[in-house]
């Protein structure tokens, strides 16, 4: 299937040999590249799979399945270290991660939070627009999955992810109930007052604190080193997944140890791995996916007004609206959380953005396929 996302994906693919060639540890680089290739392969497989082109909600079903799995299994392999947290519950946290030794696998709280914060808005979108199904339990099930994901999200105490989730949910509510736009000035005033009471520096310091990075000063130092690496290796990057062995050696940290795993910023991490080509490619894919979803959301809202309420076409447009709104909110959450972390790049959850991209492309393919069918019927 032809898609507008073909050129940014082609750009990323064409640049991968360069990023591998410059890597000083190619075996380690191949592991990180594998996560990206898995996501891209999943994207192309879904948008060209006939059942997915017919039932365009399949990527959403896969995402909700992953979200449910993360909600159920995530706390059992979650490892929370000592550090600055929103609240301290030692007895509760002692019960987390009990399966990690048995499975030989654990998950960082920020990585788990980054995955959950991408999927929860999509589940919520399907719940707050229930008119897409005659069966009430389908939207209700999506809402239950969204609620189940909130528990491990709170358990991670990832402040960046929690704030990203709140803002993404608000974006979703604005799309569902546009009149809520009138509440924005009041909310901005309340936020400004709260920020004034606690001071901007204290807010940013608290938002940036976690178990591995101490406050805003720690992240500023990481961002400074990552920015230096991006400037010095602007086009090639330092090689996929090689932040630890390269960046601290060339640009040593002063206020913390040199075992920082990544840039703690999504696009800075992409730049360190692949240079500006990676930033352009992934950034363009994200923008185009949002654009496609926004177009389908507007079209669905407009055509639904002309349809008979409760009819098949009306339910179809309601589902299109819910999926498109979910895509927009999901990618908004990814970008917001990406300001302070890089949970969906170079990790085992790096395929999640590509599932969301596939959902956006499949939504936009429906009208195009219908136009082709009409033209073919007219020729016949």
Asked whether residue 343 carries a pLDDT value surpassing 70, the answer given is yes
Q: Tell me how far apart the alpha carbons of residues 216 and 236 are, in angstroms, rounded to a whole number.
A: 29
Burial class of residue 54 in the structure, from the number of CB atoms within 10 Å of its CB (0-12 exposed, 13-18 middle, 19+ buried) = exposed
What pLDDT is attached to residue 374?
42
Asked whether residue 324 carries a pLDDT value surpassing 60, the answer given is yes
Higher pLDDT, 212 or 187: 187
Asked whether residue 202 carries a pLDDT value surpassing 90, the answer given is no
Rg (CA), the chain: 22
What pLDDT is attached to residue 8?
96
Residue the block writes with tokens 């050696």: 249
Asked whether residue 60 carries a pLDDT value surpassing 50, the answer given is yes
**What pLDDT digit, counting tens, does each position of 260-305 carry?**
888 889 999 999 999 999 999 999 999 999 999 999 999 988 887 7
Distances (CA, A) of 88 to 36, 82, 112, 157, 212: 36, 10, 19, 10, 16
The band of 371, judged by pLDDT with boundaries at 50, 70 and 90, is: very low
What ranges in the chain are assigned the alpha helix state H?
Answer: 6-21, 26-47, 50-54, 58-77, 90-94, 100-103, 109-128, 137-156, 159-176, 184-198, 200-208, 215-232, 243-250, 266-304, 312-337, 352-379
**What pLDDT digit, counting tens, does each position of 216-247 carry?**
677 888 899 999 999 999 999 998 889 988 98
Higher pLDDT, 263 or 258: 263
What pLDDT is attached to residue 369?
53
Q: Which contacts qualify for 164-167: CB closer than 8 Å, 24 or more apart?
A: 164/117, 164/332, 164/333, 164/334, 164/336, 164/337, 165/116, 165/117, 165/120, 165/121, 165/333, 167/332, 167/333, 167/336
CB 168 within 8 A of CB 117: yes
């Amino acid at each position: 299937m032809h898609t507008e996302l073909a050129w940014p994906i082609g750009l990323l693919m064409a640049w991968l040999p360069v990023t591998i060639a410059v890597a000083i540890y190619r075996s380690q680089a191949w592991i990180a590249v594998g996560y990206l290739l898995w996501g891209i392969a999943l994207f192309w497989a879904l948008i060209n799979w006939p059942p997915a082109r017919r039932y365009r909600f399949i990527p959403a079903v896969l995402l909700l399945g992953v979200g449910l799995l993360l909600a159920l299994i995530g706390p059992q392999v979650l490892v929370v270290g000592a550090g600055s947290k929103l609240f301290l519950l030692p007895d509760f946290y002692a019960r987390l991660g009990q399966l990690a030794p048995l499975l030989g696998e654990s998950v960082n709280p920020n990585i788990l939070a980054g995955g959950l914060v991408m999927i929860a808005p999509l589940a919520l979108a399907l719940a707050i627009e229930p008119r897409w199904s005659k069966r009430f339990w389908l939207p209700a099930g999506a809402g239950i999955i969204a609620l189940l994901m909130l528990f491990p999200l709170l358990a991670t105490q990832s402040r960046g992810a929690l704030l990203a989730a709140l803002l993404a949910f608000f974006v979703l509510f604005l799309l569902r109930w546009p009149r809520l736009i009138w509440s924005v000035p009041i909310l901005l005033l309340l936020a400004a007052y709260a920020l004034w009471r606690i001071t901007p520096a204290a807010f940013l310091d608290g938002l940036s604190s976690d178990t591995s990075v101490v406050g805003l000063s720690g992240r500023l130092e990481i961002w400074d080193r990552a920015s230096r690496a991006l400037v010095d290796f602007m086009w090639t990057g330092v090689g996929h997944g090689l932040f630890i062995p390269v960046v601290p050696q060339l640009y040593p940290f002063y206020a913390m140890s040199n075992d920082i795993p990544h840039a703690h910023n999504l696009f800075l991490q992409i730049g360190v791995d692949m240079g500006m080509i990676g930033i352009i490619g992934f950034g363009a894919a994200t923008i185009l996916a949002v654009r496609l979803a926004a177009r389908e959301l507007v079209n669905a809202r407009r055509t639904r007004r002309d349809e008979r309420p409760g009819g098949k076409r009306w339910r179809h447009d309601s589902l299109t609206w819910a999926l498109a709104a979910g895509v927009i909110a999901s990618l908004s959450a990814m970008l917001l959380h990406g300001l302070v972390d890089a949970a969906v790049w170079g990790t085992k959850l790096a395929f999640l953005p590509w599932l969301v991209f596939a959902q956006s492309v499949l939504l936009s393919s429906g009208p195009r396929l219908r136009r082709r069918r009409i033209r073919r019927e007219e020729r016949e």
